[in-house]
């Protein structure tokens, strides 16, 4: 946590080091009157102050500067839209409470923690003051309860990205309430939120968040085909879906995503051991169906697929997927088809692996830019 503040002497020395030309050097202003003079650091225009502070690239400096004087506090509160407190190793909760009312124009806020510090009171402060917030990272906030989600639902309806991975205390009731108010969500990370990510919650997401593009349901082991099929029909713009560790899902989920989400680029099925060849062939066939319209297999097709530990799959089915989507690679340079733990699939290869010279040429083309 930041402590102390720079003294006036240090600030004066810093100001003098700036290349600020005095009015005598610039002569008379175009209007005929004297040009304005910056006599000290407190006279810096708000826009210039914000630009100087932003170039430092350290949010600790922003926080210290906001406590220098009322003018700087107001200027930074007006100009700062992105703030991260991930560097704070202790007392993040109190720090956030003290800052929320200063930075009311925040659009991106990162409160990721290595050890739990954040409590509901801090999130409530954010919701009370930061009504324009678009992106919020609360990952690993183990102390948070449903109070936080209810507060965000009321105070931050413009959220488009929310990461609450590891927040294991949230209930599906609170998550459903959030989706009813935050209908612009495009990216939602629920990894490890087993109590919140239920089929009932996924149905609410499908009903309320039709713009959703990315959803992480990793290790939400109560999720079933019922919830995933609802998502596929209600969120057709999904591009990335992580179902790793969702042990109850079957081929029905993959078939629904293949048919309902034509823009799907990334799919995680790690340890989904109920997945069979039927799911793979449905993915391969989705490319054939999409070709009826304008479709680029490299730009628009599946580019990442994790089927590690899906031991029921056979080489022909996985090879069909790999052949259908040129962006899927088994070659070491661009490994995007993950099949670890599936010893029966070692014979599956992408085109680059079969033609090493083609892989080298593609790699050189990537580095050319």
Q: Helix or strand or coil: residue 18? A: coil
Cα–Cα distance, 164 to 141 (Å, whole number):
8
For 166, the enclosing helix (H) or strand (E) is none
Residues of the chain with pLDDT under 50: 1-8, 15, 18-29, 357-363, 365, 367-369
Domain 86-288+299-353, architecture per CATH: Alpha-Beta Horseshoe (3.80)
| Inter-CA distances, 99 with 22, 93, 142, 339, 343, Å | 35, 10, 22, 46, 53
Q: What's the pLDDT at 180? A: 98
- What contacts 327, CB < 8 A, 6 or more positions away? 297, 298, 301, 302, 303, 336
Give the β-pairing of 135-137 and 82-84: unpaired
pLDDT in tens, 194-203: 999 999 999 9
Task: Say what the pLDDT of residue 37 is.
Answer: 56
Both tokens assigned to 10: 């240090």
pLDDT at residue 73, rounded to an integer:
80
Q: What is the pLDDT of residue 296?
A: 57
pLDDT at 62: 83
Instruction: Tell me the chain's radius of gyration from C-alpha atoms.
Output: 26
Q: Where along the chain do the CATH 3.80.10.10 domains lie? A: 86-288+299-353
């Amino acid at each position: 946590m930041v402590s102390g503040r720079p003294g006036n002497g240090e600030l004066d020395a810093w100001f003098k080091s700036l290349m600020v030309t005095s009015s005598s050097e610039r002569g008379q202003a175009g209007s005929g009157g004297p040009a304005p003079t910056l006599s000290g650091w407190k006279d810096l225009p708000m826009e210039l102050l914000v630009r100087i502070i932003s170039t430092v690239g350290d949010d600790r400096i922003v926080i210290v500067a906001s406590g220098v004087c009322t003018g700087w506090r107001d200027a930074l509160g007006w100009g700062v839209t992105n703030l991260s407190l991930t560097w704070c190793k202790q007392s993040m909760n109190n720090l956030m409470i003290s800052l929320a009312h200063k930075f009311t124009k925040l659009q991106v806020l990162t409160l990721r923690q290595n050890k739990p510090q954040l409590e509901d009171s801090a999130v409530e402060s954010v919701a009370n003051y930061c009504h324009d917030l678009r992106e919020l990272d609360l990952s690993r906030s183990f102390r948070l309860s449903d109070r936080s989600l209810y507060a965000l639902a009321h105070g931050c309806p413009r959220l488009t990205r929310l990461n609450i991975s590891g927040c294991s205390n949230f209930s599906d009731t609170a998550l459903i309430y959030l989706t009813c108010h935050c209908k612009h969500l495009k990216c939602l990370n629920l990894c490890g939120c087993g109590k919140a990510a239920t089929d009932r919650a996924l149905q609410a997401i499908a009903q309320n968040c039709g713009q959703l593009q990315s959803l992480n349901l990793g290790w939400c082991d109560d999720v079933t085909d019922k919830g995933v099929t609802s998502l596929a029909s209600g969120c057709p713009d999904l591009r990335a879906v992580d179902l790793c560790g969702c042990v109850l899902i079957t081929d029905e989920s993959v078939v629904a995503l293949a048919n309902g989400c034509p823009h799907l680029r990334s799919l995680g099925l790690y340890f989904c051991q109920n997945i069979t060849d039927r799911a793979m062939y449905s993915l391969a066939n989705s490319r054939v169906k999409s070709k009826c319209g304008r479709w680029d297999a490299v730009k628009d097709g599946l580019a990442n697929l994790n089927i590690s530990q899906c031991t029921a799959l056979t080489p022909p089915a996985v090879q069909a997927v790999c052949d259908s989507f040129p962006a899927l690679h088994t070659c070491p340079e661009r490994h995007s088809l993950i099949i670890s733990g599936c010893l029966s699939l070692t014979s599956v290869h992408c085109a680059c692996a079969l033609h090493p010279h083609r892989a080298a040429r593609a790699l050189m083309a990537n580095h050319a830019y």
